[in-house]
Amino acid sequence: MSNSERIEQLLASMTLEEKVSILSGEDFWSVPAVDRLGIGKLRVTDGPNGARGGGSLVGGVKSASFPVGIALGSTWNVALLEEIGAALAEEVKSKNAHMLLAPTVNIHRSVTNGRNFECYSEDPFLTAELAVGYIKGLQDRGIGATIKHFVGNESEIERTTISSEIDERALREIYLLPFEAAVKKAGTWGVMSSYNRLNGTFTSEHNWLLGTVLRDEWGYDGIVMSDWFGSHSTAETVIAGLDLEMPGPTRDRGQKLVDAVKAGTVNQDILDRRVLAMLRLMDRVGSLDDHRPHAERADDRPETRALIRRAGAEAAVLLKNEGVLPLAGTGTIAVIGPNAKTAQIMGGGSAQLNAHYRISPWQGLVSAVGENRLRYAPGCTNDRFQPVLRGPFDAEYFDNETLSGTPVYVGTQEDAQTFWIGRVAEGKVDPLHFSVRLTGHFKPEHSGAHNLGIYAAGFAKAYVDGKLIADAWTNWSKGRTFFEEGCDEVVGSVMLEAGRAHEVVIEFATKDFSTLGLAALACGIGYPLGDAAIAEAVGAASGAEVAILFVGRNGEWDTEGSDLQSITLPGRQDELVAAVAKANPRTIVVLQTGGPVEMPWIGSVAAVLEAWYPGQEAGNAIADVLTGAAEPSGRLPQTFPVRWSDNPAHSQDREVYPGLEGKVRYEEGIFVGYRHYDKLGLTPLYPFGFGLGYTQFALSDLVVDDSDFESDGVVNVAVRLTNTGAREGSSVVQLYVSDAEASAPRPAKELKAFAKIKLEAGASTTVSLALDARSFAFFDTHAKVWLVEAGAFTIHVGLCSTDLPLQQQITRKSALTLPL
């Protein structure tokens, strides 16, 4: 019996209730088995920069932490993305799961989107090519990809309810393109609908999006699952094309769907299509016959460590270098900044996981050059919240929301940060209706005033030595934490004595949620750094051969559920950079951010390296680049503007961004990223595709073969790339297309091909780049076709979007229409 015959037979054998059961989750991470028919349980796990497994968003079984999306976007290396996808497949298997909730391919519309770190690029073509590699790597090893979020989730503000108002041309050319490539080129097995509405309708029940475009036009035969709690109806979602409601227990299906089918509201044929898609998926990922007990492993593989380190180094983008990198000499190195001894390896939200380990830049440099050469000063802090209190904490759980009576469960907790989802207190309490008291101790390093902060998706209070210090209970109001389900941090001041173990008691109770059914808490204590800390950093820098500043943001700022309010460095970091650079002209700035930042000090520093969040090997990867053990071969996947106001989403009209009265209007249309800067003639701080290395490259001998351009729109391009420097290195050859004679507004140029090439010093190679007809087309919204018009097109080839020295014009005599 063939696989398809077996699936059809299973479908015919299932009762209505059994069919409905596999169209929604059983719990937070799985779809129920159908024991009577031998259908196993399907399990999913969060990605995209690792496989967390079935635990909470904090803690749980340890996992490998890979570079985040924007870092992978910076590699411009499709083969590397496929390699990473393959490694992630093994990670998913170690968590006994069958699907990874990844990759994330939303577009960098705004420089302030809190989830930019998780996405690849501002450019849809670069995003699409990288996503295809990632998906192939996963699925070639039997693990299903779940490309997300389909579509229009380019901001975290009111994301579960807001309507993204996007015209069809912008949708087709920018926002849908990575998903189209994932379906047509990679054959993705899963698509996740976004939380938001698209032009007024929730994407999880959008007939045009899920039916007309995804299935009818693109021929998609995988499943569409909701984002967690992103389903809002029963019949509407099933009819539109949402196969799987997540998580469980179901809110919109189950008996409601059984009743809808019996009443004729949902046609039996439509239901069977949804069930057939689920069975097909289960067959593809092997869960149909997977009856193993659920068990998770922490596989810390040497080959995975090496891959993460290599990828982290390749992602680093060298933005400026006035002869100070790679590091040379034997003198003292001042290591300064809030990210120097803290390993910033990932962003926040559902992408976070419990990494096997975290290598800080300090640790990486100690291994690379020896601790005797290093001098450390923190300079300032960059925390959004007070540093999380580390435990252990005794935890008393109550099966009520008033902390009353005898605890029904007593346990321990590692620290004062947790998500309570799924099974809480070994099932002794309702996960959405309970209270808990945490008791622990904090021993400060300094005497004096400390800040205690607390925030929660729920009600919370924090006491020190019996005194209430921070109250996020009495006047709780919704803020920008915990996916917009939590309050903003409430901060109180408390005098503490160095070396004394002060008792800390935290009380928490659940509350009604808006959209996402979760309970969460974070509490921290911090010691403020002032002028003396900056003075100490200046002192360390002034006596050093070179000063390296590790500054930027962290996963508290770059996080799901909260956009940034500016792109200036948090806290006093700009002041710190300026002061250190004044004391030592050989100052190197290493940025770790999830996107662009403003750099008012750029003229006074000798070098700038953007290292992003490169995963658990962060410090080693950064040290490899700084010392020259690895080449900084990253290229910017997002334009760095001079200031936030230069960005295409910045507007005085709040409906354009951040949104107004439930709508966010994509007024700029197709003019996103570098297309916007070209249109307005704005000079960015650093352009799309830019990046320096430790060697130099030259392009020559452009050859364009347009012999098939008139007949089928195909053009083949060849160009000579030469490493003119003194050491091996990599470069990215980039090809852009212009259509100056178009009947519709078109960008000045658009990326349509690229290739990353490594060459020995003095070596040359011919780089071939192929263009298909879509490379020259725009979407005609009236005729509903992709249109290549008659007339002249210009091919530009270079090493970044503003460095395109080679050009050639080609011409078509007739128009060409392409199918959807």
Q: What is the per-residue DSSP string for 732-749?
A: EEEEEEE-TT-SS---S-
774-785 average pLDDT score: 97
Q: How much is the pTM?
A: 0.95
**Pairwise CA distance, residues 73 & 67, whole Å:** 10
Containing 197, the helix (H) or strand (E) segment is strand 197-198
Containing 649, the helix (H) or strand (E) segment is none
Q: What are phi and psi of 221, to 5 degrees?
A: -125, 15
Containing 374, the helix (H) or strand (E) segment is strand 374-377
Q: Which CATH number fits domain 302-321+338-347+363-376+540-680: 3.40.1010.10, 3.40.50.1700, 2.30.40.10, 3.40.50.10150?
A: 3.40.50.1700
CB neighbours of residue 565 within 10 Å: 11
Could you say which of 227, 243, 415, 624 is catalytic? 227
Q: For the segment 67-120, what is each residue's pLDDT rounded down to a tens digit?
A: 999 999 999 999 999 999 999 999 999 999 999 999 999 999 999 999 999 999
**Pairwise CA distance, residues 773 & 641, whole Å:** 32
Least Cα distance to 334 among 568, 603, 585 occurs for: 585
pLDDT score at 795: 98
Higher pLDDT, 357 or 54: 357
pLDDT score at 56: 74
Q: Between 618-627 and 361-369, two packed helices, what is the crossing angle to 10 degrees?
A: 50
Residue 54 has pLDDT above 90, yes or no: no
- Reported as a pLDDT band with limits 50, 70 and 90, residue 335 is very high
**Pairwise CA distance, residues 118 & 126, whole Å:** 15
Angle, vertex CA 569, rays to CA 567 and CA 571, nearest 5: 130
Encoded tokens for 331: 């003198």
Amino acid occupying residue 723: N
SS3 (DSSP) at 243: coil
Amino acid occupying residue 419: F
Containing 542, the helix (H) or strand (E) segment is helix 531-542
Q: What are phi and psi of 199, to 5 degrees?
A: 50, 45
Active site residue 221: no
pLDDT score at 642: 98
Amino acid occupying residue 318: L
Range scoring the smallest mean pLDDT among 1-15, 131-145, 710-724: 1-15
As a dihedral over the C-alpha atoms of residue 597, residue 602, residue 607, residue 612, rounded to 10 degrees, the angle is: 0
Task: Give how far Cα 91 sits from Cα of 51, 143, 637, Å.
Answer: 6, 10, 26
Least Cα distance to 808 among 664, 699, 728 occurs for: 699
CB burial of residue 198 (10 Å; 0-12, 13-18, 19+): buried
Residue 422 has pLDDT above 90, yes or no: no
Residue 1 has pLDDT above 80, yes or no: no
**Pairwise CA distance, residues 589 & 608, whole Å:** 5
Q: How big is the chain, counted in residues?
A: 820
- Are the C-beta atoms of residues 488 and 481 closer than 8 Å to each other? yes
**Pairwise CA distance, residues 244 & 29, whole Å:** 12
**Pairwise CA distance, residues 142 & 284, whole Å:** 7
- Are the C-beta atoms of residues 516 and 418 closer than 8 Å to each other? no
CB neighbours of residue 507 within 10 Å: 20
587-592 and 607-610 beta bridge pairing: parallel
Angle, vertex CA 252, rays to CA 249 and CA 254, nearest 5: 65
CB burial of residue 469 (10 Å; 0-12, 13-18, 19+): buried
Mean pLDDT of the chain, nearest integer: 96
Q: For the segment 480-512, what is each residue's pLDDT rounded down to a tens digit?
A: 999 889 999 999 999 999 999 999 999 999 999
Task: Give how far Cα 189 sits from Cα of 28, 237, 239, Å.
Answer: 20, 19, 20
Q: For the segment 595-617, what is each residue's pLDDT rounded down to a tens digit?
A: 999 999 999 999 999 999 999 99
**Pairwise CA distance, residues 566 & 271, whole Å:** 47
- Where do the DSSP E strands lie in 34-193? 42-46, 99-101, 144-150, 163-165, 190-193
pLDDT score at 337: 98
**Pairwise CA distance, residues 789 & 717, whole Å:** 20
Q: For the segment 126-141, what is each residue's pLDDT rounded down to a tens digit?
A: 999 999 999 999 999 9
**Pairwise CA distance, residues 786 & 776, whole Å:** 9
- Are the C-beta atoms of residues 505 and 439 closer than 8 Å to each other? yes
Non-local CB neighbours of 185 within 8 Å, separated by 6+ positions: 128, 132
CB neighbours of residue 590 within 10 Å: 23
Residue range 22-55+63-285, CATH number: 3.20.20.300
**Pairwise CA distance, residues 408 & 433, whole Å:** 13
387-394 average pLDDT score: 93
- Reported as a pLDDT band with limits 50, 70 and 90, residue 421 is confident
Residue 419 has pLDDT above 80, yes or no: yes
Angle, vertex CA 390, rays to CA 385 and CA 394, nearest 5: 120
Residue 583 has pLDDT above 90, yes or no: yes
**Pairwise CA distance, residues 431 & 60, whole Å:** 17
**Pairwise CA distance, residues 206 & 281, whole Å:** 22
**Pairwise CA distance, residues 253 & 238, whole Å:** 9
| Percent of residues, the chain, with pLDDT higher than 90 | 96
Which fold would CATH assign to domain 390-526?
A: Jelly Rolls (2.60.120)
**Pairwise CA distance, residues 637 & 73, whole Å:** 6
Residue 42 has pLDDT above 90, yes or no: yes
Residue 416 has pLDDT above 80, yes or no: yes
- Are the C-beta atoms of residues 179 and 152 closer than 8 Å to each other? no
Q: For the segment 433-470, what is each residue's pLDDT rounded down to a tens digit?
A: 999 999 999 999 999 999 999 999 999 999 999 999 99
701: left (phi > 0), else alpha (psi -120 to 50), else beta? left
- Measure CA of the first residue to CA of the last residue in the chain; give whole Å: 35
- The full set of domain ranges for the chain reads 22-55+63-285, 302-321+338-347+363-376+540-680, 390-526, 697-818
Q: Which overall architecture, per CATH, does domain 697-818 show?
A: Sandwich (2.60)
